[in-house]
């Protein structure tokens, strides 16, 4: 039992399921999927956060804010496509979700090898994907006329996956009125009123009581006017959802895991963390993103391997189109990582980090995981065709998990020299097991 104070809440331990599952799917779907526009001209992190990013950012889910900044590609696109007097709220009546099939989504996520799903229930635009007692601005009342959160929660759990819910806590552009043009406004203001703080608290309580999410994923922060209620909210969450975990975006007051978005944040081999990013440069669907903006299967596997070997989970995002279709170039990547996990998943799921840190070499990166006394060695970013690599601080017989790998190894003093004859891009990272090697 948890009580409404920080001392009690901070007794919570990360449940085994979250530490063991390693791989989840993030979903950003909403009104922003209708215009489906952002400027994908740069990678996140290539410009300083000096206000430039907010005029020219690659996140399609920030369309509402970007159109109100008054300049930049999204503003110009909105004026040219919809007209100056077209309000963002009008997208609610254009969003029909006519091809929405939650069961197909859930099957795709399971086939991809994901073990949990996190759905955006309300992004910063304020539009809710669930029926709420506190607003009619929702997918149950407008647009699709569906309880998207409820339908997907049922479908995901039917496939045996954990279901988590994202909620934008500190920011709702309908309450803040002014567009965000620099990071300081987010950090210190957001939606500062007591009215909004109560609104966010009440909606989170609705989500907890109705859907019992295994992950409560808050974004950016929590309204400072409502910080005093956070211990009560989180205690209620832990008491209601015995398998529940929260992220680190509750004003730094408590977390079960930390987050690293794209390249922003830090890995931590000492405590649990989660990498989250889109398959492309945006979380929400961006119609002008092409294949060059989407991670290849090889790079997606590389991201998973490096994350898991260093004590993280990978939460990879899909951005469905407005009609409910997951874009083919995104679905293709999920099928690809699913095929890799079918062969190599035992080196990912239910593993822990080895005492050996990851190593970068001229012929590839070497990552390690372990399961009981067995060691897994993952060779990533290796040359295609034939290559050799020396793996230090190991001994024993290497056995490839991929039956198609042609290789040999030679024992050296406290190391092994591995030679692979037929590495292909389709194989992605190569995984070798050493029974008792840890």
Q: In tens digits, what is the pLDDT along the chain, a chain of 438 residues?
A: 999 999 999 999 999 999 999 999 999 999 999 999 998 765 544 434 445 566 678 899 999 999 988 888 999 999 999 999 999 999 999 999 999 999 999 999 999 999 999 999 999 999 999 999 999 999 999 999 999 999 999 999 999 999 999 999 998 998 876 677 665 555 545 788 899 999 999 999 999 999 999 999 999 999 999 999 999 999 999 999 999 999 999 999 999 999 999 876 778 899 999 999 999 999 999 999 989 899 999 999 999 999 999 999 999 999 999 999 999 999 999 999 999 999 999 999 999 999 999 999 999 999 999 999 999 999 999 999 999 999 999 999 999 999 999 999 999 999 999 999 999 999 999 999 999 999
168-207, pLDDT tens digit by residue? 999 899 887 667 766 555 554 578 889 999 999 999 999 9
318 and 277 in a single domain? The answer is: yes
Return the CA Rg of the chain.
23
183 and 244 in a single domain? The answer is: yes
Q: What gap in Å lies between CA 331 and CA 311, rounded to an integer?
A: 26
How far CA 178 is from CA of 65, 191, 320, in Å, comes to 9, 10, 28
238-288, pLDDT tens digit by residue? 999 999 999 999 999 999 999 999 876 778 899 999 999 999 999 999 999
CATH label of the domain that carries residue 110: 3.20.20.80
DSSP string, 395-426: -S--EESSTT--EEEEEETTEEEEEEEEE-GG
pLDDT of amino acid 41: 65
- Give bridge partners of residue 216 from the DSSP assignment: 165, 246
Q: What gap in Å lies between CA 263 and CA 375, rounded to an integer?
A: 28
342 and 360 in a single domain? The answer is: no
Q: Is residue 380 situated within a structural domain?
A: yes
Report the DSSP pairing between strands 23-27 and 407-412.
unpaired
Instruction: Give helix then strand counts, H and E, for the chain.
Output: 14, 17
Asked which of 347, 364, 392 is the last residue of a domain, the reply is 347
The total number of structural domains in the chain stands at: 2
Q: What gap in Å lies between CA 81 and CA 274, rounded to an integer?
A: 37
375-384, pLDDT tens digit by residue? 999 999 999 9
Which of helix, strand or coil describes residue 10?
Answer: coil
Q: Which of 351, 343, 364, 354 is nearest to 437 (CA)?
A: 354
170 and 106 in a single domain? The answer is: yes
**Residue the block writes with tokens 């009619």:** 136
How far CA 167 is from CA of 172, 220, 340, 403, 428, in Å, comes to 10, 10, 32, 43, 34
Four-point Cα dihedral 143, 195, 66, 142, nearest 10: 0
DSSP string, 385-403: EEEEEEEES--S--EESST
Q: Is residue 12 situated within a structural domain?
A: yes
Dig out the tokens for 232 from the structure. Answer: 């009560």
Asked which of 285, 320, 347 is the last residue of a domain, the reply is 347
Q: Is residue 1 situated within a structural domain?
A: no
278 and 397 in a single domain? The answer is: no
Phi, psi of 3 (to 5 degrees): -115, 165
196 and 333 in a single domain? The answer is: yes
338 and 392 in a single domain? The answer is: no
- Regarding pTM above 0.85, the answer is yes
Asked which of 347, 379, 410 is the last residue of a domain, the reply is 347
237 and 300 in a single domain? The answer is: yes
159 and 199 in a single domain? The answer is: yes
262 and 376 in a single domain? The answer is: no
Q: What percent of the chain has pLDDT over 90?
A: 87
252 and 397 in a single domain? The answer is: no
Domain ranges, residue 21: 6-347
247 and 115 in a single domain? The answer is: yes
Q: Is residue 154 situated within a structural domain?
A: yes
CATH label of the domain that carries residue 377: 2.60.40.1180
């Amino acid at each position: 039992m948890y009580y409404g104070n920080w001392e009690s809440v901070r007794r919570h331990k990360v449940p085994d399921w979250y530490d063991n599952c390693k791989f989840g799917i993030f979903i950003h779907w909403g009104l922003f999927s209708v215009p489906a526009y952002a400027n994908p001209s740069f990678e996140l992190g290539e410009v300083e956060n000096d206000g430039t990013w907010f005029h020219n950012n690659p996140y399609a889910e920030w369309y509402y804010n970007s159109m109100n900044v008054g300049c930049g590609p999204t503003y110009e696109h909105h004026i040219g496509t919809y007209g100056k007097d077209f309000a963002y709220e009008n997208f609610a009546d254009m969003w029909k979700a006519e091809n929405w099939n939650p069961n197909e989504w859930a099957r795709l996520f399971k086939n991809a090898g994901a073990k949990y799903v996190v759905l955006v229930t309300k992004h910063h635009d304020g539009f809710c994907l669930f029926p709420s007692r506190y607003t009619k601005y929702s997918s149950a009342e407008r647009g699709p006329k569906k309880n998207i959160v409820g339908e997907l929660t049922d479908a995901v759990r039917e496939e045996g996956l954990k279901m988590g819910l994202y909620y934008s806590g500190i920011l709702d552009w309908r309450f803040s009125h002014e567009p965000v043009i620099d990071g300081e406004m987010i950090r210190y203001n957001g939606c500062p009123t007591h009215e909004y703080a109560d609104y966010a608290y009440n909606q989170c309580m609705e989500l907890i009581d109705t859907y019992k999410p295994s992950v409560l994923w808050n974004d950016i922060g929590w309204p400072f006017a409502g910080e005093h209620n956070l211990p009560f909210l989180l205690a209620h969450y832990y008491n209601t959802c015995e398998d529940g975990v929260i992220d680190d975006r509750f004003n730094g007051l408590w977390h079960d895991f930390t987050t690293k978005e794209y390249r922003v944040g830090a890995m931590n081999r000492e405590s649990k963390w989660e990498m989250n990013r889109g398959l492309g440069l945006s979380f929400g669907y961006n119609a002008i993103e092409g294949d060059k903006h989407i991670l290849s299967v090889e790079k997606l596997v590389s991201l998973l391997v490096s994350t898991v070997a260093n004590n993280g989970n990978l939460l990879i995002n899909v951005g469905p189109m407005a009609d409910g279709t997951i874009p083919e170039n995104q679905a293709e990547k999920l099928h690809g990582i699913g095929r890799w996990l079918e062969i190599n998943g035992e080196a990912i799921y239910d593993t822990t980090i080895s005492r050996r840190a990851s190593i970068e070499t001229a012929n590839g990166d070497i990552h390690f995981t372990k399961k009981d006394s067995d060691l897994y060695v993952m060779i990533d970013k290796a040359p295609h065709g034939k290559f050799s690599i020396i793996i230090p601080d190991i001994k024993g017989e290497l056995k490839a998990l991929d039956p198609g790998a042609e290789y040999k190894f030679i024992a050296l003093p406290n190391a092994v020299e591995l030679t692979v004859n037929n590495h292909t891009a389709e194989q992605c990272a190569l995984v070798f097991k050493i029974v008792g090697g840890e």
